[in-house]
């Protein structure tokens, strides 16, 4: 599958996993549009990409929770590119106060506030759906559209309910539930688009050394974008409606 002329929009891509995803796609010759709440940080990220030889990159001021920004990015991509080949819904928040290193792990279910729940779902779920719906007409114009939803293994109900799983004692309820809901969106949208060239998948990037993942994470930042890049560049016979980590299917 040729990447010539392809364009990708990545939310929350001025740093961390989003920037690594932009780097991975850019190195394959795909034009990358970086969405960043802070315009200056977005431009700095583009300079980093250019320093690595990725010249077809730009930054746009974009807050995933602002409907005005959704309208603006649709107009921008329509006017400049005429289509969107890849959407990576990367932006997300983790607002639960959970100490997974505590004895017995952590579980915020009985203590998480309604405010934290609403703010978490607004960014990790509702905004993703609204943005995807807004951009879908442009993705339909691409020969082989790809939608990648950044989920987490912490969204797996199968693993959360298994006392033998490695995440059984790691329950940050607002974050986990938002990713479970996001996975449902992936399954439902993939089924709706099953007779089109568009593929929709959820990605678990791994536990990565980012601002969110922290310094104790086992994966280096350079590895963080691998799953997103793989799913964004799937061949025509690749999967849709799945949940993956570096090629391995995960349980819902």
In angstroms, the CA 138 to CA 198 distance is 11
Parallel, antiparallel, or unpaired: how do β-strands 146-150 and 199-203 relate?
Answer: parallel
Structure tokens at 75: 């107009």
Active site residue 175: yes
The one catalytic residue in 9, 81, 173, 175 is 175
Parallel, antiparallel, or unpaired: how do β-strands 199-203 and 243-245 relate?
Answer: parallel
138 and 84 in contact (C-beta within 8 Å)?
yes
In angstroms, the CA 139 to CA 233 distance is 14
Structure tokens at 74: 């649709």
Residues 50-54: contacts with CB under 8 Å, at least 24 apart: 52/23, 52/26, 52/27, 53/27, 54/22, 54/23, 54/26, 54/27
Q: Which residues contact 2 (CB under 8 A, 6 or more apart)?
A: none
- Catalytic positions, please? 175
């Amino acid at each position: 599958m040729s990447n010539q002329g392809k364009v990708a929009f990545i939310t929350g891509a001025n740093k961390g996993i989003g920037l690594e995803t932009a780097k991975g796609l850019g190195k394959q010759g795909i034009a990358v549009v970086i969405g960043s709440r802070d315009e200056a940080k977005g431009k700095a990220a583009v300079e980093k990409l250019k320093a690595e030889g990725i010249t077809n990159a730009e930054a746009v001021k974009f807050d995933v929770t602002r409907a005005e920004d959704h309208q603006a990015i649709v107009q921008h991509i329509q006017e400049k590119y005429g289509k969107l080949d890849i959407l990576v819904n990367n932006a997300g928040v983790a607002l639960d106060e959970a100490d997974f290193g505590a004895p017995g792990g952590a579980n915020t279910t009985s203590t998480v506030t309604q405010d934290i729940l609403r703010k978490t779902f607004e960014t990790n779920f509702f905004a993703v759906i609204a943005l995807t719906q807004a951009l879908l007409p442009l993705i339909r114009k691409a020969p082989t559209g790809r939608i990648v939803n950044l989920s987490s293994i912490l969204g797996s109900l199968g693993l959360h309910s298994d006392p033998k799983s490695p995440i059984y004692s790691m329950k940050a309820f607002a974050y986990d539930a938002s990713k479970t809901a996001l996975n449902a969106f992936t399954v439902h949208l993939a089924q709706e688009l099953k007779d089109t060239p568009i593929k929709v998948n959820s990605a678990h990037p791994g536990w990565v050394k980012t601002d969110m993942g922290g310094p104790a994470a086992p994966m280096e930042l350079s590895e963080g974008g691998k799953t997103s890049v793989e799913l964004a560049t799937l061949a025509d016979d690749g999967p849709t409606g799945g949940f993956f980590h570096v090629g391995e299917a995960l349980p819902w």
